[in-house]
Structure 1
Amino acid sequence: MKKFKRKLAGIDIFSPDIKNCTDNGSMIAITGYHRLKKDKRMIGY
């Protein structure tokens, strides 16, 4: 861990609260659903 911290010295890191971290898979799935609903030709792209 010390080696890792030395490598990151001077680099700002942003990490959101755990309550703001959600499953990206669900967001990707709902986006795909809405795009497919809008244009059914996407099935065989």
Structure 2
Amino acid sequence: MSNKYFGHDNELGDKNTLGDFNELGNKNKFGNENTFGHENTF
């Protein structure tokens, strides 16, 4: 897997609540750092 649990940063790998950076926290897809906010790929 990844460094953390499933490579997630926090809960579901979101930056904040549901990764809300802006509207819905869309940094990339779903406002996650990468795909689904996972550090790596699942």
- TM-score w.r.t. the length of structure 2 is 0.22
Which structure has more helix as a fraction of its residues?
1
Larger relative contact order (Cα-Cα within 8 Å, sequence gap ≥ 6): 2
TM-score by length of 1: 0.22
| Larger-Rg structure | 1
